[in-house]
Amino acid sequence: MSRRLYDISRPLSDSTPVWPGDQPFSLRWTMRQDRGATVNVGQVTSTLHLGTHVDAPLHFDSDAPGIDQLLTEVFVGTAQVVHVAGKSLIGVEDLKALAGGPAERLLLRTDSWSDPQCFPATIPCITTDLPAFLASKGIRLLGVDVPSVDQLDSHDLPNHRALAKHGIAILESLDLSSVPEGLYELIALPLRLVGADASPVRAILRDEK
């Protein structure tokens, strides 16, 4: 029997919300068959922090690696989905039951982004001591179903920096709304954009059963 797939990527279109002031998504045609061209060719303009995406350390540290320098193995492998709905802060107490087993990737389902067509006004956030705790559990990637691992009004991005310090990759704006808790195989590879600070991804979960 085939293993179930969950597409946990947010769709990309003109209606995909972006950070206020950032470059929205736009698709235009540079060649069209109905205009006499032999093929249809599109051009995309957008922020790299669009929809479901990976932040590179370069995003918040000009001397840190860009997206093309991150290890691809971090974005493929066993992931644990944990439900933490209804919490404004997500900390060690909420994740103490985390097994030290095969999952090196943790995905937090908060169910807090109620209207995916609008950028949220507020989001839940992780506590400052959580990155060190996750590193002690062998976590190499943290994924969230909101646009950031920091508060939306944060300027110094302490959680981004703490996660990077502990070698934990950041995957943001997942759609986990239909995914039960449990273990899955994650595939969420960023594009090999040389010197870039982020990359959209097509994130997929495959049932382990």
pLDDT tens-place string over residues 149-178: 999 999 999 999 999 999 999 999 999 999
Give, for 129, the enclosing helix (H) or strand (E): none
- What ranges do the domains of the chain cover? 5-207
123 close to 108: Cβ distance less than 8 angstroms: no
Sheet harboring 105-109: ordered strands across? 5-7, 204-207, 182-187, 76-83, 105-109, 141-144, 169-172, 53-55, 198-200
Burial 171-193 (b: 16+ CB within 10 A, else e): bbbbbbeebeeebbbbbbbbbee
Q: Which CATH number fits domain 5-207: 3.40.50.1980, 3.30.230.70, 3.50.30.50, 3.40.50.300?
A: 3.50.30.50
pLDDT tens-place string over residues 27-66: 999 999 999 999 999 999 999 999 999 999 999 999 999 9
* Structure confidence at residue 181 (pLDDT): 94
* Structure confidence at residue 97 (pLDDT): 76
Catalytic residue ranges: 59
Which pTM value belongs to this model? 0.95
146 pLDDT exceeds 90?
yes
